[in-house]
Structure 1
Amino acid sequence: MAMNRLALFYLLLALAPLAVTAWRPWPPRNASGGELAGIGASKKYEGSSDFVKLQYHMGPVLAADITVHPIWYGKWPVSHKRTIRAFLRSLSAAGVPSPSVSAWWRTVRLYTDQTSSNVSATVRLGEEKSDARMSRGARLSRLDIQSVVRDAVTATTRPLPVDSGGVYLVLTSPEVAVENFCGQVCGFHYFTFPSVVGYTLPYAWVGNSAARCPEICAYPFAIPSYIVAGGRRPESPPNGDSGIDGMVSVIAHELAELASNPLANAWYAGEDPSFPTEIADLCEGIYGTGGGGAYTGQLLTDGRSGASYNVNGVGGRRFLVQWVWDPVVSYCSGPNALDH
């Protein structure tokens, strides 16, 4: 079935090169059975068999040097922080063996604004803020995420800087429940409201799903029971933790979309900017050549641990991150593609 769909995918691309297709192994649904909607919503396993056209809507991309400021909300083991920091440091690191995280980011860099400025090649790990006491509580609404950002940039001691290239990454630990988490989303990105934060700042939220829904948000390191029943086994996480390795891929997804559509008026498909299909949504669930549906595509395997990965990072780290849409060749692409 996956191969038949893949053949149809390439046939339709050949017939209509401006159209793109994205489909998911299982769609997110709300309590009434309808599709998820709402401003700033993430689209885990987004897309459908319907054709959508990726278009530029004249807004900015993140063309200035990007500084990612993590906000650690909840209790975070040091080892988990190290893994995520290593991924963020890898986004523009040189000298990393191929296929690298920075080569994956080069696809994101292909997106430009109306001045022909590309998404920045430079992505730095910035200053960090921790809120281990969960000052906003263990249950957060979407708007609460903006309040977490406000707390970090207005703190009386060591506030996060407010800078032109700043991106604020709210990361919640397993005990934190966020509105629609697991049932509908694994992460989302948007920009803060001046009425809430005092500034318009691009931000993203990603949650650790290990204790809640790893089969949804840490896929393919955990998979739904009906796929297990069909003989499919989860992939082994390259950093030894399905929750954190799953988070890394969602972080990659959100940063790619944040860079190419920071104010919800740049690169996306669909007519509704409050519920766009963005450059990572188009490739949801695809990690290698031949990917689609419930098949990840061709992956690399660590000879010592047996873990699956598709990109190398700093310090010998390895990660498995989903591909993103390449606007030049008009299909999902990654540095581990077999035709590279």
Structure 2
Amino acid sequence: MTTMTMMICCVQRCPATPAPVLLSLTVLSLFLFISPVIGWRPWPHQKINASDLEFGGSKKYEGSSEFVHLKYHMGPVFTANITVHTIWYGTWQKAQKRIIREFINSISAVHSKPPAVSGWWKTVQLYTDQTGANISRSVRLGPEKNDRFYSHGKTLTRLSIQSVIKSAVTARTRPMPISPKSGLYLLLTSDDVYVQDFCGQVCGFHYFTFPSIVGFTLPYAWVGNSAKQCPGTCAYPFAVPDYIPGLKPLKSPNGDIGVDGMISVIGHEIAELATNPLVNAWYAGPDPVFPVEIADLCEGIYGTGGGGSYTGQLLNGHDGATYNMNGIRRRFLVQWVWNHVVNYCTGPNALDQ
């Protein structure tokens, strides 16, 4: 999953770094060369990687169909009803949880005012498996787990993230359900938790757990709250980097810069998990070690005309807040995803719809 030269990583990717791909013992050597699935954000020190050389510096391709060759590699996708199991790691306010829960619930909401989050998900639904079955329309919240005592500390590595998930599914009391085929495990870390490569390379990423660590192969995503560590990078455009003088932040729609910044990253990761849960389904590029997925291709694009440092045409509320989609009761800013039918980035707020 990662805005002015920015990123909204979500599973996965930062502008110049692909997403970290984790593997079991056989794959651990490969892990050394993998980066998480990231998004586009204003990273102060960007480096060029293999996928950037192939797809260009920003990996944003609204209308550039001749350069993007997204392919299906015959792996499974989420065709069964999707259940999101959230692990709240660290200290979370009730209001923060409500914002994130409503976004996830809005994915399947049928009566939201357009442009709606559910309209955004319709692009994800266009993707199919090898039988022709489409990705499920149904995305719902499942049982959650709170880890308010930081059971694995306040500093996590990519591999220790999997240990947090293991603790949730093997807990003595109310263990989180194990559902490899339709369960999506979403680990969210609070603003005082440091995660490997957070802020410097990623704002979030997705992969799958190793049986050697967790006991099961479970598709998961991690997204961090950047409010205290790097809001100018991972909560852009609701916060801006200090090194870009004169740039003014936009007003967030729900009054919480860190959480409003997380929403697009969460959407990025969920969309890519649904279409590429085991990193062998839908992606562009010749190498699964550096997959460029449906949200990576549109990183930084939130409206018509988006690309480069321009977010595209957005909506402004009467309260001055900026957003591009409506949920059940709230408004959100969510990046677009790649539509393989028309071969460009699409979203429900497009001006040509």
Structure-1 separation of matches of 2:345 and 2:86: 28
Structure-1 separation of matches of 2:220 and 2:18: 20
Match of 2:21 among 39, 47, 52: 39
Could you list the runs of 5+ residues in structure 1 that have no partner in the other structure?
A: 1-21, 29-33
Query: Given the two structures, how large is their TM-score scaled by the length of structure 1?
Result: 0.87
Deviation at 1:55, TM superposition (A): 1.1
Quickly say closer, same or farther: Cα 1:35–1:208, change in 2 above 3 A: closer
Sequence identity percentage: 62
Give the secondary structure class of the aligned counterpart of 1:146.
Answer: helix
1:266 maps to 281
Quickly say closer, same or farther: Cα 1:37–1:107, change in 2 above 3 A: closer
Structure-1 separation of matches of 2:7 and 2:259: 23
Structure-2 separation of matches of 1:181 and 1:130: 21
Work out whether 1:324 is the aligned partner of 2:337.
yes
> Using CA pairs below 8 Å that are at least 6 residues apart, which structure has the higher relative contact order?
2
Match of 2:197 among 168, 180, 198: 180
2:70 maps to 54
Quickly say closer, same or farther: Cα 1:190–1:35, change in 2 above 3 A: closer
Structure (1 or 2) with the greater helix fraction? 1
Q: Would you say how many aligned residue pairs link Structure 1 and Structure 2?
A: 310
Structure-1 separation of matches of 2:145 and 2:236: 28
2:112 maps to 96
2:146 maps to 130
Give the secondary structure class of the aligned counterpart of 1:188.
Answer: strand
1:283 maps to 298
Preserved CA contact (<8 Å) 2:3 2:233: no
2:157 maps to 141
- 1:15-34 maps to which residues of 2 (within 5 A)? 25=5
Deviation at 1:272, TM superposition (A): 1.7
Deviation at 1:256, TM superposition (A): 0.4
2:315 maps to 300
Could you list the runs of 5+ residues in structure 2 that have no partner in the other structure?
A: 9-15, 23-35, 42-51, 58-66
Amino acid aligned to 1:310:
N
Structure-2 separation of matches of 1:110 and 1:192: 26
Between stretches 109-118 and 44-53, larger displacement belongs to: 44-53
Match of 2:238 among 221, 241, 253: 221
Structure-2 separation of matches of 1:275 and 1:174: 28
RMSD: 1.9
Between stretches 43-52 and 194-203, larger displacement belongs to: 43-52
